[in-house]
Amino acid sequence: MVLWNLFLGFFRIGILGYGGGPTMIPLVHAEAVQKYGWMTDEEFTDVLAMGNALPGPIATKMAGYIGYKVKGAAGAAVAIVAMVIPVLVAMILLLGLIYKLKDSGIVGGMTHGVQPVIGVMMAVMAYEFFLKSWKSWVKSKTIAWTIVSLVALALLNVNPGLLIGIALAYAFTESTYLVRKQKKKQADSPDRGISA
């Protein structure tokens, strides 16, 4: 049943994700987090950041990771195949039509009409992530990272991959420090109890 749900979830994403990876991210979130609960929002954010930092199409990387997390290698294979099949079949069946209509104003208008929808979907997801980080993380860090990101991307034209890499390195360093601190605290607490 889990493999079937993986197939259905990622098949729907493959069918509805018109426009490639960025359009599929909110759909993956809706299926993996909201509908099936395969991961939390925090895990999804981590997977999204890692997927952006690695080369290749983000949608298939996320499908592979989520499928593997849910049901191992079989889950990864099912999720990737389910996501790729609709696109592959559509390309094969519609190749001649696509070639004839590639310069059509109607097709160009459809493409331009979908772009604002993609932008709104991404903005809503970013806003939801911001709210979650605001509630669960130190507020000053959330504000600082938001400002640094906006300045780096909008004013300094820093490559988003570089910014994501820096954020991942910072998160790894901070989480490693906090885990070590917590372990040291736990290791020291029994000694204090014995000495008392």
Burial of 9 (0-12, 13-18, 19+ CB in 10 A): buried
Overall domain count for the chain: 1
Look at residue 163 and tell me if it is in a domain. Answer: no
Nearest to 47 by CA among 153, 158, 150, 129: 129
pLDDT, one tens digit per residue, over 144-163 is: 888 888 899 889 998 888 88
The verdict on residue 44 lying in a domain is yes
Whole-structure pTM value: 0.57
Domain extent for 19: 1-104
pLDDT, tens only, 186-195: 887 765 545 4
Is 125 a member of any domain?
Answer: no
Q: Does 71 map to a domain?
A: yes
Residue 38 maps to a domain: yes
> Residue 142: inside a domain, yes or no?
no
Q: Where are the alpha helices (DSSP H) in the chain?
A: 2-16, 21-29, 41-53, 58-101, 105-136, 139-150, 160-195
Distance CA 128, CA 154 (A): 21
For residue 30, tell me if it sits in a domain: yes
User: CA nearest 66: which of 110, 36, 86, 96?
Assistant: 36
pLDDT digits (tens, 9 = 90+) for 46-92: 888 788 777 778 888 899 999 999 999 999 999 999 988 888 888 78
Establish if 151 belongs to a structural domain.
Answer: no
